[in-house]
Amino acid sequence: METQSPLPDKIHLIPSKAPTLSFSEAIEYIIKGEKVHKLEWNNEELYGFLNGDILSIHKPDGKNYQWIISKGDLLGNDYIVI
């Protein structure tokens, strides 16, 4: 007989008190191959990364899109490396 795991299906990977970065600091991490998430974004499956030579956003639908940077993105100080 199978029992259900007491753990939730999805464990939140983003700590609420993680040190935050400016956009320019986040870009430095992206260039090094890291993924960054903006705490303002509601879904932890949404993150920015470098896809070849294109700055991209990975969305919860599992697809990658070119990241069209907004003024809010540029002025943001709430990025974290994931």
pLDDT of residue 9: 45
Cβ neighbourhood burial of 39 (10 Å; 0-12, 13-18, 19+): middle
Cα→Cα distances 46→1, 2, 3, 51, 59, Å: 37, 33, 32, 14, 5
The band of 82, judged by pLDDT with boundaries at 50, 70 and 90, is very high
pLDDT of residue 71: 96
pTM of the model: 0.75
- Give the tens place of pLDDT for each residue, 5-58: 444 444 445 555 668 999 999 999 999 999 999 999 989 899 999 999 999 999
- Per-domain residue ranges of the chain: 23-81
